[in-house]
Amino acid sequence: MALRARRVAVTGLGMVTCLGRNAEETFSRACRGESGIDFIRSFDTSGLPCRIGGEVDDAWLENADLSRLGKLAKFAGRGVKMLVLAAEEAAGQARLDGIARRDRVGVALGSHGENPSVDEMRFVLSFYRGDGTWDLERLTKAGGYPYSIFFRRKPDIALAVVAARFDCRGPTSSIASACAASAQAIGEAYRYIREGKAEAMIAGGCEAALNYAGFAGFVLIKALAERYPSPQQASRPFDRKRSGFVMSEGAAALVLEELEHARARGAPLLGEVLGYGDSADAYRITDTHPQGEGAFLAMKAALEDAGLRPEDVGYINAHGTSTTQNDAVETRAIKRLFGERARSIPVSSNKSMLGHAIGAAGAIEAGLTLMGMRRSVILPTINYEFPDPKCDLDYVPNTARRLDHAIALSNSFGFGGQNACLCLGRTAD
């Protein structure tokens, strides 16, 4: 007899988003269909064709108690600080520090490192002579280049800080795959546990790229919403008048744990990761595969991994970015996998309210999907006004819906064609 695969429960959940300083606040505001999008205040956007984003309130970060980070704080940029707060929420709920064998607790995170600020770039460049040489003497006199900036820019720093802060000595994985990053981190963490490499994992991700260097690139490739009656109405997944995504920032962390291990120590059971599928479009950098081949493969793989059939799925938490291409292609891929049944499965996009937090989006949305299952609530797709014939599914328009559902898929597709799909389940306590 084949050994029954180890099951992976979720025992902790935390997030910091433009809608809330924790998971509860984010979920309840999303439940009311509120938008976290507004004009960007953190840098001067004048002259840019997109001037909006989903910023996390600076006061939340300033008032948060990060004292337990100690010396690590100087290596934690804005995104990593949010991630530590989210992980504190998740680890506290899971009572993660109660697990004695720290070599059996690991970390898997999706993060991309912090962009240099314009001031940092100006400072360094002022010592560049323009001929390939540097005025090191003057730079040294000015205090030198702060080495903490070097660390904050590295995509692996989030992992180092979180592992040290929470004393996780097990396996680690640092994932940089754009919009799929933190969903893939959860998927990899789930694999570590299922394969017996760890008993528990902190899994999630962060993104804080609402600064000039992080924003301008997306403006240049015309990926952002440029036509909108108000900031709050700009992110409109699946709506005919969508014109691009709205960038936001945030972080989310889950504690994943082997189910029997969690039961034995009485940890809260918030849900279960039932399966994970990932794939690559192997196609183009920003265009998605026109038939949604990669999205289809990822969803199919997640279901197969979970040992489930399409008819078992009660809800799909869509990637739903509000770009013309993604929403039509994702719809096509869902219809290909679910056939006639596709129209009767609720599909909604949290990005309509939260914007697109890039590397953090997958973990935020997985968290909200789990919360929705436990409360029998499907979060809405707000700003849904004008139906698009190419997007003809049930997108749970504008108001949350009360619906009992036990199995959900959560999609995250990255620029470059990295696709991740998590199959999540509601686990009874």
| From 35-43, 84-92, 93-101, 388-396, span contacting other proteins (CB under 8 A) | 388-396
For helices 23-31 and 361-375, give the axis angle rounded to 10 degrees.
70
The verdict on 385 binding other proteins (CB under 8 A) reads no
Which of residues 98, 132, 143, 389 is near other proteins by CB under 8 A? 389
d(CA 45, CA 55): 14
Question: Which amino acid, residue 420?
Answer: A
- To other proteins, the closest distance from the beta carbon of 385 in angstroms equals 12
Site for other proteins in 165-224 (CB under 8 A): 220-222
Dist CA 173 CA 194 (whole Å): 15
Shortest Å distance, C-beta 142 to other proteins: 34
Active-site position among 168, 319, 405, 423:
319
Backbone angle region of 112, left / alpha / beta, with phi > 0 → left and psi within -120 to 50 → alpha: alpha
CB of 410 closer than 8 Å to CB of 424: yes
Contact with other proteins (CB under 8 A) among 284, 311, 339, 376: 284
- Closer Cβ to other proteins, 220 or 264, answer by number: 220
At 15, is the secondary structure helix, strand, or coil? strand
User: By C-alpha distance, which of 144, 411, 135 is closest to 299?
Assistant: 411
> How far, in Å, CA of 49 to CA of 388, rounded?
24
Binding of other proteins at residue 46 (CB under 8 A)? no
Question: In the Cβ-directed half-sphere of 90, how many Cα atoms lie within 13 Å?
Answer: 33
- Decide if residue 282 touches other proteins (CB under 8 A): no
Q: Is 229 in the site for other proteins (CB under 8 A)?
A: no
CB 231 → other proteins: shortest distance, Å? 20
Part in contact with other proteins (CB under 8 A); list of ranges 292-300, 382-390, 404-412, 419-427: 382-390
With beta carbons less than 8 A apart as the criterion, state whether 390 and 240 touch.
no
Q: Give the integer Cα–Cα distance in Å for 21 and 16.
A: 5
Does residue 386 interact with other proteins by CB under 8 A?
A: yes
138 binds other proteins (CB under 8 A): no
> Does residue 335 bind other proteins (CB under 8 A)?
no
DSSP of 341-389: GGGGSBEE-THHHH-B-GGGHHHHHHHHHHHHHHHTEE--BTT--SBBT
**At closest approach, how far in Å is the CB of 284 from other proteins?**
5
* 260 contacts other proteins (rule: CB under 8 A): no
Of 299, 285, 102, 106, whose CA–CA distance to 186 is shortest? 106
CA distance 20 to 191: 30
Q: Minimum distance from CB of 352 to other proteins (Å)?
A: 20
Phi, psi (degrees; rounded to nearest 5) at 392: -120, 40
Residues written for the chain: 429
Provide the angle, in degrees to the nearest 10, between the axes of the packed helices 157-165 and 78-94.
Answer: 40
Question: Torsions phi, psi of 407, nearest 5?
Answer: -135, 130
388 in contact with other proteins (CB under 8 A): yes
Window 56 to 115, contacts with other proteins (CB under 8 A)? none
Residues binding other proteins: what is the number (CB under 8 A)?
13
Closest approach of other proteins to the CB of residue 187, in Å = 27
Catalytic, 289? Answer no
Q: Taking contact as CB under 8 A, which single stretch among the options 95-103, 118-126, 138-146, 386-394 is the one that binds other proteins?
A: 386-394
Catalytic-residue membership of 319: yes
Is 291 one of the binding residues for other proteins (CB under 8 A)? no
By CB under 8 A, residue 287 contacts other proteins: yes
Strands (E), 230-366: 250-258, 271-280, 315-317, 347-348
Using the minimum distance from each CB to other proteins, give the nearer residue, 240 or 263: 240
Where is 23: in which H helix or E strand? Answer: helix 23-31
User: Among 179, 206, 391, 423, which one carries the catalytic annotation?
Assistant: 179
> Is 261 in the active site?
no
Out of 261, 356, 391, 405, which one is annotated catalytic? 356
Please pick, from the candidates 74, 240, 265, 335, the single residue that binds other proteins as defined by CB under 8 A.
240
- Smallest gap from Cβ 103 to other proteins, in A, equals 45
Here's the x/- map for other proteins, 390-409, by CB under 8 A: it reads as x-------------------
Question: Which two structure tokens, joined as six digits, stand for 17?
Answer: 């988003």
CB of 219 to other proteins, least distance (A): 11
DSSP letter (8 states) at residue 49: S
List binders of other proteins among 139-168 (CB under 8 A): none
* Binding stretches for other proteins (CB under 8 A): 49, 220-222, 240, 284-287, 386, 388-390
Positions marked catalytic? 179, 319, 356
